[in-house]
Amino acid sequence: MRSALLTSEGLSLASLPDPSPPRGGLLVALRACGVCGTDLEKVRGGYRATGRIGHEPAGVVREVGEGVEGFHPGDRVFAHHHVPCYACEVCRAGAFTFCPAFQSTNLDPGGFSELFTVSRAHLDRGAVLPLPEQVSDEEGTFVEPLGCCLEAIAAVGPVEGRRVLVLGLGPIGQMYLRLLRTFGASWVGAADLSPVRRALGEGGGADEPLDPRDPARLKERVLRATHGTGPDLVVVATGAPSAIAEACRLVRRGGTVNLFGLPEKGRSLEAELQDLYLRGIRLVPTYATTETGTSRALALLAAGRVKVSDLVTHRFPLERIGEAFSMAARTEEAVKVLVTASR
């Protein structure tokens, strides 16, 4: 089989022996897998976590391992890449995505592979979800990132009636703003450098598409829309430290800044700490999702409450994965890029 691997020399497509399903696990054949911003950072060398890539896959069960019940060859599934232990001190505190064991579980050799295995731990903890007929393979690739947005919303509190500004309109920012609309936010502003992404954000429910290149103009428009107070919540769906600093300046007194986008390794934040203290700004970093989040995400997709298919701008077969990653980095024209099984 062919598999995209990340080595010290970069991204490459390797030929590997076909794997067998592990005891209690599954062997899955790829249908589609999204290119995530963290995948891009891994290739650039700016992400300190595991070098394994591809964690938004939808596929078809090829074989089931010994002792598996409830799954059969031919089942269409989404497979989540990480699962927490649910037993450690961190998990007992409810911070499941920060469990020390979370990243030790993974799809093997990764989601950008013609075939990949899913472990017994994944199945035991509910990380593999059957895809209903009304959810396409492409929509299935959004289960994990949509679950990450749901995890973030759970962390920052109810959004109904709140005024929210989203900074960064890549796939995550687009999904986040659609969830904000679904859950009743009273005003959603959306800022991005790309006109293509701003237009898509407006089509997805943003009240006001904003260009962040003029900070003074941005602040003026945000304050006008929020009656001079600033947003209740600012979502930073980009890893740029400048966007985080801008979020801290724009959020209202006593408001919340959700740090969602992944900063490059080694980057730091310059902020007026006394200002954050005196204004009571709450900084809430959120990372990844759990089985609760992916199940909720799939339910929203299946019910048609969140639309995502229009976010897919480019598709590349696995053998052209290098082109897929190059396009995903071209934020002026791409939103969501998918890698698909060869036809």
Domain with residues 147-285, CATH architecture: 3-Layer(aba) Sandwich (3.40)
CB-based burial of residue 155 (10 Å sphere; 0-12 exposed, 13-18 middle, 19+ buried)? middle
Does pLDDT of 205 surpass 90?
Answer: yes
* Predicted pLDDT of residue 89: 97
CA distance 148 to 290: 8
- pLDDT-based confidence at 278, cuts 50/70/90? very high
Arithmetic mean of pLDDT, 49-61:
89
Does pLDDT of 148 surpass 70?
Answer: yes
Same-fold call for 2-141+308-340 versus 147-285: no
* Predicted pLDDT of residue 264: 82
Angle between helical axes of 321-328 and 37-44 (0-180°, round to 10): 100
Tokens of 200: 């898509």
* Predicted pLDDT of residue 103: 87
49-53, 146-150, 196-200: range with lowest mean pLDDT: 49-53
- pLDDT-based confidence at 141, cuts 50/70/90? very high
Tokens of 90: 């961190």
Does pLDDT of 186 surpass 80?
Answer: yes
Cis link prior to 285 (omega < 30° from 0)? no
* Predicted pLDDT of residue 266: 85
Cα atoms in the 13 Å half-sphere on the side-chain side of 281? 27
| Domain boundaries, given as residue ranges, for the chain | 2-141+308-340, 147-285
Pick from 106, 23, 28, 107: which is nearest to 65 by CA? 23
Q: Rounded to two decimals, what is the model's pTM? A: 0.96
Query: For the domain bounded by 2-141+308-340, which CATH number is listed?
Result: 3.90.180.10
Percent of the chain with pLDDT over 70: 99
| DSSP string over 258-295 | EE-S-PPTT------HHHHHHHTPEEEE-----HHHHH
* Predicted pLDDT of residue 343: 65
* Predicted pLDDT of residue 48: 58
* Predicted pLDDT of residue 44: 86
Pick from 287, 193, 267, 237: which is nearest to 44 by CA? 267
* Predicted pLDDT of residue 10: 85
- pLDDT-based confidence at 134, cuts 50/70/90? very high
